Structure 1
Amino acid sequence: MKAVGLIVEYNPFHNGHAFHLHASKEAADADIVIAVISGNFLQRGEPALVSKWARTKMALAGGADLVLELPYIFAAQKAETFANGAVSILAAAGCDALCFGSEDGDINAFLNTLDFLNENQAQYNHKVKDYMKSGVSYPKALSLSFEEFEGTDSLISLAKPNNILGYQYIKAIQDQKSSIKPLTVRRKNADYHDEHFASETIASATSIRKAIFGEDENADKISQYVPQATFDQLKLYFSEYGLFHQWENYWPFLKYRLLNMEANELQKIYEVEEGIENRMLKAAVSSSSFGDFMEKIKTKRYTWTRLQRACVHILTNTHKEEMYLPQEKASYMRLLGMSLAGREYLNKMKSHFSLPLVSKLSSFKEKPIHLDIKAAKVYSCALSGEKQEKLLKMEFNQPPIYMK
């Protein structure tokens, strides 16, 4: 059975994702789709709107056949580390191809860009360091450095978020000497960060979340932009747990952590660098909300995303040594869900997987998984009483979801 891999967050799964999934399967001429999905906290340093279990159900209903979790150690990370972890899981699961959505939609432009930067790596790195010294953020330094080169008209733009991720996926494939074939499909209508609805049926996840977190916090207003299964899952989740997760739910816990820490303690937390700890400690005292706090700590040097990721790691008390990766590859694959075709694929291919497949948490003791467990505990803190207990129990007791 031929498998195409997708690297996703589905926060939530929408019509654009449905297009990408089916277009990827067609482009790869694949029998099944394997999706590697971020768990409780996401690459941009945000809590997922709904649990990984609810998003797994959305993915399976949308056409995915196997859903594997991207561990916390990779999920709440910069694009390069995020890509390395996800690609290593897809390779271990036997994927023949990886297909991603991009603004350019031309795989040759990505491959040419990778070759170009490999040939000019020393000069490129030097330019990046110079821009960083001037005080700009790392992503901005990468983009500005790339723009300085001549003859890049036929290459991709590294100023666009999906192009950046796509480039890192292809680089990870090359660095890991994987046989996975990279493919891309052009994104439809909505840009990655669009905050407003751009068409009648396609919208970015950002605009969908913004609509959900409107004055009355409900999912009704986004029904035309998501498949029915997603809409149903969102309604069900809200009825069961009474909220959709967002940073403001966690602000009291983050503020408590900051008010009880010294600067030298905060320096030990992953992604807290270069004096930002003093700015954070000062801002925590006078901030009444997470949004207020972020406005006070943001600087030209640090992107909003970088700061949010640091806040996630403060919230989960994740120290720098815990996120150390001797090689940027996953050491396990956690199975969250499967379709009938996915189960058939597992029966045929599982013995060939190059990483252990975890379907029952209690039977696996590999060290990095403790970060996933800790993240799940913190994620559940947005809830209280029986609702919190119910969600947390799923982390330990929920078997892989099977959807025929």
Structure 2
Amino acid sequence: MIATGIVVEYNPFHNGHLFHLQEAKRQTDADTIIAVMSGNFLQRGEPAIVDKWTRTRMALAGGADLVIELPYAFATAHAPQFAKGAIQLLDALYCSYFCFGSEEGSIAPFTNSLTLISTQQQLYESAIKEAMREGISYPNALRKGYEAISHDTSIDLADLSEPNNILGFHYMQAANDIHSSMIPLTIERIGTHYHDPALPADSVASATSIRKSIFTNESAEDVQPFMPPTSYRLLKNWEDLNGFQSWDALYPLLRYSILREEPERLTEIADIREGIEFSFFRAAKEQTTFQGFMQAVKSKRYTWTSIQRMLVHILTGYRKATREQITDPSYIRLLGMTESGRCYLRSIKKQLPLPLVSRVASLSDPSLLMDIKSTDIYMSGIQSPAPTLGQDYRTPPIFV
């Protein structure tokens, strides 16, 4: 059986995601599509608008056959670590291909970029360090390093100023680092740009614009044309029962988490560095809204995303000491499957290099405990009258 892997967040699952999933299956002639999906907190340092089980149902309805959770330690990390965790899981599941969306639309530029960096590693790393010393944010420092080695070359290189290209490059790099036999494939992104905030005239909108419409209008009704029918129904069901999750809803919990600690204690939290803990402490005392807090702490040194990632770690209590224990994925957490996915799992189960977890009580692991903890904190901020905690223990894998 041919398995093709994809790395997703589905926040929420929309028509562009459906196109990518269908093309991945068609172009690789796959029998099984395996989606490694972030849990309840995402790579941009924000909560998913609906929980991971609702998004799992969206994925299975859209054509995925297996949905595996990307552990919190990787799902909320910088792009290289995010990609490392996802690619290692897809490789452990014996995928023949991994497929990602990109602005580039061709694998050759990514391969060329990897080759260039490997031959100019010293200059590349030196340029990054110099940019960091100048107070430039990490993503822009990476871009500076890339520009330092690419300005004199005539070969076709990936444009690493584009968000999907950046992740695609790191997927390729992660696969290369572990000498994976998976074949990379990229599908050109269609429709609006990744960060476009406005809904377009056609049926393919960015997840950013869909979320902005939902929060601006306080309703999901306007986004229906941009989502497959099942995804939209699941989105509406969640809205009716719980309301959508957001940083605004979680800010009281975040504010309490910051004020409970002395600034010095905040330095124990993952990613906190260079005195930003004092800015967080002051802003938490003074600001009553999340937007006000972010405006008070933003700076040229840190991107909005990197600040949000720090805040997610404060909220969940994810400490540097815990992160040091989690260097690689140590289990395969099954969130959902189709009959095809179940058949594929049966065919490889005895060869899996990592334990397959369908019941979280069956494994004690610091990474899995972090997933369980982050789910409870996510659900604690839900605005429904009685959010249910302990769902990781209560919810079996979804079978369609």
Report how far residue 352 of structure 1 moved: 1.6
Please tell me the residue identity of whatever aligns with 2:315: L
**C-alpha distance in structure 1 between counterparts of 2:137 and 2:241, whole Å:** 41
Q: Give the Cα separation in 1 of the matches to 2:380 and 2:220.
A: 22
Shift of 1:135: 1.3
Q: Deviations over 1:145-186 (max 9, x none)?
A: 222331155101111111110000000001011111111000
The one-letter code matched in structure 2 to 1:388 is P
1:400 aligns with 2:397: yes
Q: Does 1:116 align with 2:113?
A: no
Partner Cα distance (2:143, 2:93) in 1: 33
Shift of 1:383: 2.6
Matches of 1:94 and 1:325, distance apart in 2: 25
Letter in 2 for 1:223: Q
Q: Deviations over 1:266-286 (max 9, x none)?
A: 110001111101111111111
Query: Separation in 2 of the partners of 1:177 and 1:110?
Result: 16
> What aligned pairs does 1:297-376 form with structure 2 within 5 A after superposition?
297-325=297-325, 327=327, 329-376=328-375
Match of 2:240, SS state, is helix
Closer, same or farther: CA 153–287 of 1 in aligned 2, 3 Å: farther
8 Å CA contact retained: 2:326, 2:367: no
Counterpart residue number, 1:175: 177
1:212 aligns with 2:214: yes
Equivalent residue letter for 1:225: F
Number of the residue aligned with 2:69: 69
Question: Structure 2 matches for 1:146-185, cutoff 5 A?
Answer: 146-148=146-148, 149=150, 150-151=152-153, 154-185=156-187
Contact 1:190 1:203 in 2 (8 A): yes
Q: Is the 8 A contact 1:189 1:199 kept in 2?
A: no
Question: Residue 164 of structure 1 aligns to which amino acid in structure 2?
Answer: I
Distance 1:335 1:193 in 2: 30
1:384 Cα deviation after fit: 5.8
User: Displacement of 1:387 after TM fit?
Assistant: 3.1
Q: 1:87, 1:172 within 8 Å by CA — same for their partners in 2? A: yes
- The structure-2 alpha-carbon separation of the partners of 1:84 and 1:152, relative to structure 1 and needing over 3 Å to count, comes to farther
How large is the Cα RMSD of the aligned pairs? 1.2
* Aligned counterpart, 2:199: 197
Query: What aligned pairs does 1:8-23 form with structure 2 within 5 A after superposition?
Result: 8-23=8-23
Aligned residues: 398
Measured after TM superposition, the shift of residue 382 of structure 1 is 1.2
Q: CA deviation at 1:198?
A: 3.0
Structure 2: unaligned runs, 5 residues or longer: none
Match of 1:234 in 2: 235
Conserved 8 A contact 1:102-1:163? yes
Q: Deviations over 1:75-128 (max 9, x none)?
A: 100000000000111011111110000000110110111010111111011011
CA 205–322 in structure 1, closer or farther in 2 if over 3 Å, else same:
same
1:13 corresponds to which letter in structure 2? F
TM-score w.r.t. the length of structure 2 is 0.97
Three-state SS of the structure 1 residue aligned to 2:16 is helix
Over residues 295-320 of structure 1, what are the superposed CA-to-partner deviations in whole Å (9 max), with x where a residue is unaligned?
11111010110000000000011110
CA contact (8 A) 1:142 1:158 kept: no
Does the alignment pair 1:265 with 2:273? no
Query: Aligned partners of 2:326 and 2:252: how far apart in 1?
Result: 35
Look up the SS of the partner of 1:213 in the other structure: helix
Q: In structure 1, what is the equivalent of residue 60 of structure 2?
A: 60
Matched-pair identity in %: 45
Distance 1:313 1:166, change over 3 A: same
1:307-348 CA-to-partner distances (Å, cap 9, x unmatched) read 000000000111101011564x21001000001111111121
Report the Cα offset of residue 366 of structure 1. 2.1
Separation of aligned partners in 1, 2:167 and 2:362: 33
- The alpha carbon displacement at 1:221 in A equals 0.3
**Secondary structure of residue in 1 paired with 2:131:** helix
CA deviation after TM superposition for structure 1 residue 367, in Å: 2.5
Distance in 2, Cα, partners of 1:295 & 1:223: 32
Report the secondary structure of 1:179's partner residue. Answer: coil
Contact 2:112–2:155 (CA under 8 A) maintained in structure 1: no
**Residue 238 of structure 1: CA displacement?**
1.4
Q: Secondary structure at the match of 2:245?
A: coil
> How big is the shift at 1:68?
0.2
Unaligned runs of 5+ in 1: none
Call closer, same or farther: CA 1:325–1:182 in 2, change over 3 Å. farther
The aligned amino acid for 2:179 is K
Q: Deviations over 1:178-198 (max 9, x none)?
A: 111111000002111111123
Q: Distance in 1 between matches of 2:222 and 2:39?
A: 26
User: Counterpart in 2 of 1:98?
Assistant: 98
How many angstroms apart in 1 are the aligned matches of 2:334 and 2:235? 22
